[in-house]
Chain A
Amino acid sequence: MELEPVYQVGQLSTTGFLIASVIKVLIVFLVVLVTVAMLTLLERKISAWMQDRLGPNRVGPGGLAQPVADGLKNILKEESNPGQAHRVFFVLAPMLAITPAMVTFAVIPLASPLPTPWGLVEMVIADMPIGVLFLLAFSSLGVYGIVIAGWASSNKYALLGGLRAGAQMISYEIALGMSLLSVLFLVGNVRLPEVVWGQQQLGLWFAIPLSISFLFFWVSAFAETNRLPFDLPEAESELITGYHTEYSSMKFSMFFIAEYAHVLTVSMLMATLFLGGWDIPFWSGDNMLGMADGTVVGAAPAVWKTLLTLLAFVVKTGFFIVMFMLIRWTLPRFRYDQVMDLGWKLMLPALLTVVTVTAGTILALDSAGVAYGLVYGLVLTAVNAVMLGIFLLVLDRGRVLSGGYARQEKRAHARAVARFHREEFEVGHGAPAEG
């Protein structure tokens, strides 16, 4: 790999760093909150369009102020606290649900580094060396809020919802982590700006060379956010609304906000990990990596580049969000056994294979001395395409997810066994009198 040019922008002083951080925190937090509010509107609008309706259009121009009205309503509504509920945990649960969802934005790089007269400002609130691990740790904390909500409500439906959430999240956390492994193999780092840099260096977004990991990550992301078709914790038809059955007014709203914040985080994360983060395709002018000491490797940083890359990031995140909604209004909810089958019997073994094969390929490529670049990526693409093809073929054969058809063999077998036993019984005891 030829050495990339290095630009010296200069390091922020400690005060400068503090000020920049505070500004970043404020802006990102505000933007995230507003975006989440707007997501609730977007969801309602998109679902309306898909169902040939118009959606909310009365409050403000085109219904834009609907989230404000909703929020106001939720704050003003009476809060009911069930008498049997455990008060402390009942109040704690919504906070536990919303906090991790709000914290995880801190490590996601939003745009290319911004050069300022005072030094280089990274466009990520906390450029942690353990970015990905932090993200995984915090997003799985969200399940505590749900489980505690279910338990503290003292309501059988809520409890069942909480249990389901726990089981489902734990099952899919494994798949999530495993599909992430391939990315980490390839980048060799868990710092998220490095992941973006790795994709720029490869010349391909990881969605292409790691297509099968991408697919699995996407599926488990649906399960992690409790969105349809994985919304078993709040299955209305079976559990009323599951874990938040007993919650009302702003406490309910907090679960709601947490769900959308999770959708936003996961979309941002998928954009960063698999769609090149803030990278603009087919343009090398934005391939840069900011360092903690104020230097930039790669292209020269510029303010307009930061803005452009920010736009690219927003577009990619938006794509995933719309996909979330599209899937939600397309697919019906899985049965519980299907969710568990998919997680444990299909995704886990498949991912183990994928991780092994990908790691083997990377090892082979490295020992063959192939430089990290387009050829490297294309070999991985080919390997992954084969695996993806096999996986889709298996899925298409209807072994796991189709309805009655897939279980027909199982049923026929069970019937044959029952008949066999019965006939044996009849031979031994004479035919039972049938009336």
Chain B
Amino acid sequence: MARRRKDKEMAANVRLMKRPEREASYLRATLKGVALTFRHMVNPHKVTMQYPEEKWALSPRWRGTHVMEQHEDGRPKCVACGLCPAICPANCIRLVPGEDDQGNRYPVVYEIDEFRCIFCGMCQEVCPVEAIHVGQHYENSEYTRDNFVYDLDRLMSQKQPSTLLWDPSDPASE
């Protein structure tokens, strides 16, 4: 009976820790706090990065918006094999293949909807001629949603370095 009542009491009341005055004193805590804020005021560890001027160095494996590699004469390296639209889990690559007089295949339409893309990098992995790459880039802002559909010209004019999906010097990482 007595024990039960005590249990009930504990449930109803918040238990207070018995703290020594050294810890409970408002005065000392205030002085300590003021000293702390003062230390930070005169010697702030300025960790803020001034974003537009300074930027983080991206990892070489960062996967961002795509880059299409091109030949010296400006033709895209893509041979319209159709592997990347096939593997793309987000189904965001639209490819219409074409063939020229010599029988070389080339993409007539090649679009990537960067809004739907999940940046998995599988298109880069699967590409037999290393044409499409994900890039080391993260600043994506546009005024309309349509602008996020990158066509072939836009993909070829991207300036960012393309991603290294694995470390070439380390075969185990592949």
A residues engaging B (CB < 8 A)?
Answer: 46, 48-54, 326-327, 329-331, 392, 395-398, 400-408, 411, 415, 431, 434
Chain A CB within 8 A of B145 CB: no
Shortest beta-carbon distance from B50 to chain A in Å: 8
**Residue of B at shortest CB range from A403?**
B24
With contacts A392-B27, A396-B25, A398-B21 known, is A330 near B36, CB below 8 A? Answer: yes
Residues on B with C-beta less than 8 A from A395 are: 25-27
Instruction: Collect the chain B residues with CB atoms within 8 Å of residue A400's CB.
Output: 26
**Given known contacts A46-B41, A326-B37, A415-B13, A405 and B19 CB-to-CB distance under 8 angstroms:** yes
- B contact residues around A50 at 8 Å (CB): 37, 40-41, 44
Interface residues, chain B, with chain A CB atoms under 8 Å away: 1, 4, 9, 13-14, 16-19, 21, 24-28, 30, 33-34, 36-38, 40-42, 44-48, 50
Give Cα A397–Cα B19 distance, bound, in whole angstroms.
Answer: 12
Given that A330-B37, A396-B25, A402-B25 are known contacts, is A415 also in contact with B9, CB under 8 Å in the complex? Answer: yes
Apart from the given pairs A396-B28, A398-B26, A405-B16, 8 other A-B contacts in the complex at a CB distance below 8 Å: A49-B40, A49-B44, A50-B41, A50-B44, A53-B44, A331-B30, A405-B24, A431-B1
Would you list the 6 A-B pairs with minimal beta carbon distance, nearest first?
A: A401-B26, A405-B24, A330-B33, A49-B44, A402-B24, A404-B16
Smallest Cβ-Cβ distance to B9: which chain A residue: A415
Give the A-B contact count at a CB cut-off of 8 A: 74
The reply to whether B34 and A327 form a contact with Cβ atoms under 8 Å apart is yes
9 A-B pairs with CB atoms under 8 Å apart are A50-B37, A52-B45, A54-B50, A330-B30, A331-B30, A395-B27, A397-B21, A398-B21, A407-B16
Q: Which residues of A contact B50 (CB under 8 A)?
A: 54
Selected from A52, A329, A402, A406, the residue in CB contact (under 8 A) with B47 is A52
A326 to B41: give the CA distance in the assembly, Å: 9
Given A329-B37, A415-B9, do A405 and B46 touch, yes or no (CB 8 Å)?
no
Q: Which residues of B contact A330 (CB under 8 A)?
A: 30, 33-34, 36-37
Most chain A beta-carbon neighbours within 10 Å: one of B4, B30, B37: B37
Docked CA distance A404–B26 (Å): 12
Residues of chain B lying within 8 A (CB to CB) of residue A54: 46, 48, 50
Q: Give Cα distance in the complex from A434 to B40, angstroms.
A: 57
CA distance A406 to B26 in the complex (A): 10
B16 touches A408 (CB 8 A): yes
**B48 and A51 contact, CB distance less than 8 A:** no
Please, which residues of chain B bring their CB within 8 A of the CB of A51?
Answer: 40
